[in-house]
Structure 1
Amino acid sequence: MQMASLVNMPVYGLNKLEKKQFLTARLLELTQHHYQHCGEYKRLLHCIGETCMPKDAEHIPPVAARLFKEYQLKSIDEEEIFRLMRSSGTHGSQSSIYLDADSAKLQSQVLVKILQHWLGKARRPMLLIDAAQSVQNKNGMTARAAGLQGLSFFGRNHCYALNSDMQLDVARITEFFQRYEQENILIFGFTFIVWQQFIQQLEKLNLKFNLQNATLIHGGGWKKMQQQAVNDALFQQHIKNRLGDVAVHDYYGMVEQTGTIYMQCEHGYLHAPVWSDVMIRDTNDLHLLPFGEKGLIQVNSTLPTSYPGHCILTEDLGVVHGEDDCQCGRLGKYFTVHGRVPNAQVRGCSDTFS
């Protein structure tokens, strides 16, 4: 499929039959591509008994996310590497994701399409709940840096809320809010950082602002939030108590499939865009589970061509609640995430800050 045709697909516009047809064809095509161009992936399929290509997407063996930490999984030559992406985890090794120029461009274009669906095309005054230094990394771009950089394209007059030591710059954010509080402000940050370094600091200082029509996008770090007994509803309540009229959207995503993020709708569900799919597998034998049952999250993406990241088994637990029938009206599967598998390695964009 041509890149332009792929990018121009409707974000949440295909029904389940149309989407299944598209996903099946594309994922099988990618499986064949990576089988031919990535020796490690070929050996992986052989080790689990796959000596011929699967006939449908459900039977494509997913790659365990942790394998990207242990092997250089790439389907391109060294000289074709345009960008090296690394996961943000500080405990243990990091995932390494190899992108050529076309893959990087495709991921970026799809991310823009998804976010434009939620934010529109107009750039807004933007507050980033992080330090400017977080986007600087000489050893490859981290997931956290990529998130900050990717979302910054949707803003203007950018303001970083934290100093280089990750402490709240009260004077800076006060001036920003006073200047733009009547406009459609965009706020972005990683969940635990937003909570600990921003909201809790505002509460300690007893600071409140009266935003009129702001949007906060945040993601990652829910394991630490759960350890503090903070759920999504409580998180949103504290945000609105301190900032005023703010639409809050969580998202689910990972460096292994940058571009295809899963945004949270107004009813609290994460949504799979047209370029990706979510499956739930049993934690014991990995068989597929029906809607409503909790298990391991598998994420499929039609974008990765430079590395075999099209079907990934995560270490997260979740539930798919349905398809094409969410009250928000968007087509596709919608789901919730219920934390990490017990004893799984902690990782995530927010987890890099402690």
Structure 2
Amino acid sequence: MNDMETARWLERDPFSMPAAEKAKALTATLTALVQWHRSHCPDYGRILDVVAEPGMPIDSLEAVPFIPVRLFKEFDLLSVGREQVFKTMTSSGTSGQQVSKIYLDKETASLQGKVLVRLMAEVLGRKRLPMLVIDSPSVLKNRNAFSARGAGILGFSLFGQDVTYALDEEMNLDLAAIDAFLARHTDQPIFLFGFTFMIWQHFYQPLKALGRKLAIDRGILLHGGGWKKLQDQAVDTHAFRAAMVDCAGIGRVVNYYGMVEQTGSIFLECEHGHLHAPIYADVIIRNPRDFTPMAQGETGLIEVMSLIPRSYPGHALLTEDIGRIEGEDDCPCGRHGKYFSVAGRVAKAEARGCSDTYETRS
């Protein structure tokens, strides 16, 4: 996709394109990406030689060849020369686990940022807000090889000012820093960001134990990842939202779905609790047995598609997450595009993600 085509995508409202128009435009763009990666990434080309004939027409999103997201743990998949790579991102992982390695050139990193700006305007508006990160600054120590947590924090910090960390180096609640931050921004909207399970464990539970309630009534909390551990504790999205009101008065809580393998392409939750696919991305649900597309309302493996990845073949990825399409173009929130829900992980899949793989130090 050339610069002019990219600009046209970025000029559009992220949730303005009706289903038929989006499917046609996104299919054309993804087809071009398939051809690019097939020509420039030998390992990806060999995979396609097995699953897709050269020149085979791609007439729908469902026909775009996909690869399992796990392959990024097994292979170095690049579509640019190593001399063009200026940043490597890795998925978080517990000790002994393999991690995904995602290689970024300047074009891909720039496009990630531009798309994220368009999407975050849906949450925060166009103005940078005072930002409280519910994490520790220690996660950003290695700026050349970011973990998923570090990449998420750094990426979303672009939309904040006076960025302050709510946790210290030992992952303990830093009340002095929090109180000073809130004193500096009395009666202002505040942007809070963190990973779901870590917010619960290191922010909500300590505040509850201390009997403290913070005054962040104008807060906007963006969070993602870590639902598996909370589901194990019988905490669903409604209980999580109620807990944020209880501990800090935070009335606006926005969940998102995303992964380091497609940084920039995030799926934001609307006020009706649905995750939405913007015009830059899409989701398909596939049958776990034969990988055929499934109908709306049926539960299966989530495939995520994105027009962002240029330096690596991450444009069509079959995840190890389970979900279903709830509808398309008819959500009560008024946004166009597919909207969906995530039910969890496939059985025996490795823990993945930012807070899913966080281990408390002993």
Q: How would you bin the TM-score normalised by the shorter chain?
A: over 0.9
Aligned counterpart, 2:12: 9
In structure 2, what residue type is equivalent to 1:55?
I
Cα deviation, residue 6, structure 1: 3.1
Change (3 A) 1:49 1:29: closer
> Does the 8 Å CA contact 2:39/2:45 hold for their aligned counterparts?
yes
Bigger Cα displacement from structure 2, 80-89 vs 291-300: 80-89
Q: Deviations over 1:208-230 (max 9, x none)?
A: 12323210000011111111111
In structure 1, what residue type is equivalent to 2:193?
F
Aligned counterpart, 1:235: 240
Bigger Cα displacement from structure 2, 235-244 vs 3-12: 3-12
Cα deviation, residue 138, structure 1: 5.6
In structure 2, what residue type is equivalent to 1:73?
L
Aligned counterpart, 2:308: 303
Identity %: 47
- 1:200-215 → structure 2 map (5 Å cutoff): 200-215=205-220
Cα deviation, residue 338, structure 1: 0.6
In structure 2, what residue type is equivalent to 1:301?
S
User: Is 1:127 paired with 2:132?
Assistant: yes
> Does the 8 Å CA contact 2:197/2:225 hold for their aligned counterparts?
yes
CA distance in 1, matches of 2:196, 2:118: 23
Task: Give the aligned length.
Answer: 354
RMSD of aligned residue pairs (Cα, Å): 1.3
- 1:155-170 → structure 2 map (5 Å cutoff): 155-170=160-175
CA distance in 2, matches of 1:114, 1:38: 29
Partner secondary structure for residue 356 of structure 2: helix
CA distance in 1, matches of 2:250, 2:144: 39
Runs of 4 or more consecutive aligned structure 1 residues displaced over 4 Å after TM superposition: none
Change (3 A) 1:30 1:115: same
Q: Deviations over 1:258-283 (max 9, x none)?
A: 11100111110111111000000011
Find the partner of 1:71 among 69, 75, 82: 75
User: Is 1:95 paired with 2:66?
Assistant: no
CA distance in 2, matches of 1:65, 1:181: 44
Cα deviation, residue 153, structure 1: 1.3
Q: Deviations over 1:74-114 (max 9, x none)?
A: 11111111211111122511101111111110111111110
Q: Mind listing any 5+ residue stretches in structure 2 that lack a counterpart?
A: none
Aligned counterpart, 2:86: 82
Q: Mind listing any 5+ residue stretches in structure 1 that lack a counterpart?
A: none
> Does the 8 Å CA contact 1:132/1:164 hold for their aligned counterparts?
yes
Length-normalised TM-score, structure 2: 0.95
Find the partner of 1:55 among 32, 55, 58: 58
Aligned counterpart, 1:246: 251
CA distance in 1, matches of 2:250, 2:135: 21
> Does the 8 Å CA contact 2:262/2:309 hold for their aligned counterparts?
yes
Cα deviation, residue 54, structure 1: 3.6
Aligned counterpart, 1:221: 226
